[in-house]
Amino acid sequence: MRVGVFDSGIGGLTVVKSLLEHQLFAEIIYFGDTARVPYGIKDKTTIVRYAIEAVEFFKNFELDLIIVACNTVSAHALEEMKEASSCPVIGVVEAGVLATANALKNKNSNVLILGTKATINSKAYEIGLKTEGFYNLQAKATGLFVPIVEEEIYEGEVLEATFKHYFKTITAPDAIILGCTHFPLISEALQNYFSKTSLLIHSGDAIVEYLEKEFELKNRYKNPKLEFFASESPDSLKNIAKKWLDI
Ligand code: DGL
């Protein structure tokens, strides 16, 4: 299968990392809209417009599937992307909800949803989790983590101060949904702040779980063909990919 992975910028590489670890695809074509990131502070109309442009971009390749690695786009524009695309389109929100439901047997579990402003405002995770029977939910927009991670700050004072700022009124959760591409990079710091026993839901692992269940992906590809495209500074995206994905 040849798959397209779409993100607003570089963050979706965390999802590519999971895809590579599980060797699911023969070819991965990544597109990051680095010229217009962040999407997480934009409104739905703009997010949908950009997302449809990404579908148009992917029409240059004969794809079998588009994976929306971006939580913000998955929360706001998945249906519109499906309508515009000739191949299936799947997103990380549904996958994250199902991964949470599979992992937590107790419906009373306290689930903390973290994401960009746009993701949290959409209530997409909350709606999905409520449909799965969860009701003990906390949600917090934590957009500052995006530039912090892009500064390669994964621990220390700046992050601690930001945790204190955001989590003043948050009670220690049983599970944390890392509802943004960047947040897996601070997962260790988040667990140190809350509790090492909090379950973390990572979009990349969730999408792998979803793919393995929904699509019959029997073959494994040790050396998939990888191509990286960006709407701005493609070389910088390629360098980050080399570093994050160890390629
Ligand atoms: N990729 C976005 C997400 O997962 C984070 C960066 C942005 O705001 O565009 O929501």
DSSP state of 239: H
- The CA distances from residue 119 to 13, 44, 71, 202, 225, in Å, are 19, 10, 7, 15, 31
Pair (116, 177) in one structural domain: yes
User: Residue 18: CB within 6 Å of ligand 1?
Assistant: no
> What are the backbone dihedrals phi and psi of residue 230, each rounded to the nearest 5 degrees, phi first?
-145, 150
User: Residue 91: CB within 6 Å of ligand 1?
Assistant: no
DSSP state of 152: T
Pair (73, 141) in one structural domain: no
In the set 24, 69, 180, 237, the catalytic residue is 180
Q: Is 223 helix (H, G, I), strand (E, B) or coil?
A: coil
Q: Looking at residues 180-203, what average pLDDT do you find? A: 95
Owner of token pair 């992917």: 58
41 pLDDT tier (thresholds 50, 70, 90) = very high
Q: What share of the chain is helix, strand, coil (3-state, %, to 5)?
A: 45, 20, 35
User: Residue 198: CB within 6 Å of ligand 1?
Assistant: no
130-141 tens-digit pLDDT: 999 999 999 999
The answer to whether residue 195 scores a pLDDT higher than 90 is no
Cβ atoms 64, 2 nearer than 8 A: yes
Domain range enclosing 150: 94-203
- Write down the number of H helices and E strands in the chain: 11, 9
Q: Looking at residues 221-247, what average pLDDT do you find? A: 96
Pair (134, 173) in one structural domain: yes
5-33 tens-digit pLDDT: 999 999 999 999 999 999 999 999 999 99
Which pLDDT belongs to residue 5?
Answer: 98
User: Residue 14: CB within 6 Å of ligand 1?
Assistant: no
Strands (E), 11-135: 27-32, 65-68, 89-91, 111-115
The CATH code of the domain that includes 79 is 3.40.50.1860
Pair (85, 100) in one structural domain: no
Helices assigned H by DSSP within the chain = 13-21, 44-58, 71-84, 92-103, 117-122, 124-131, 145-150, 157-167, 187-193, 203-214, 234-245
CA-116 nearest atom, ligand 1: 10
User: Residue 186: CB within 6 Å of ligand 1?
Assistant: no
Which tokens belong to 138?
A: 């906390």
Pair (110, 52) in one structural domain: no
Residue identifier of the C-alpha nearest atom 6 of ligand 1: 38
Active site residue 87: no
Pair (15, 86) in one structural domain: yes
Ligand 1 centroid to residue 154 C-alpha, Å: 17
DSSP string over 169-218: TPPPPSEEEEESTTGGGGHHHHHHHS-TTSEEEEHHHHHHHHHHHHS---
Best residue among 116, 122, 144 to mutate for probing ligand 1's pocket (most ligand atoms within 8 Å of CB) is: 116
Pair (155, 170) in one structural domain: yes
User: Residue 7: CB within 6 Å of ligand 1?
Assistant: yes
Ligand 1 centroid to residue 11 C-alpha, Å: 7
In the set 28, 55, 70, 98, the catalytic residue is 70
For all residues of the chain together, what is the average pLDDT? 97
Pair (182, 212) in one structural domain: no
Pair (81, 32) in one structural domain: yes
Which pLDDT belongs to residue 196?
Answer: 85
* CA separation for the pair 138, 18 (Å, rounded): 26
Cβ atoms 39, 12 nearer than 8 A: no
68-118 tens-digit pLDDT: 999 999 999 999 999 999 999 999 999 999 999 999 999 999 999 999 999
Instruction: Please give the tally of structural domains in the chain.
Output: 2
Pair (85, 55) in one structural domain: yes
Cis amide leading into 234 (omega within 30): no
209 pLDDT tier (thresholds 50, 70, 90) = very high
Q: Looking at residues 209-231, what average pLDDT do you find? A: 94
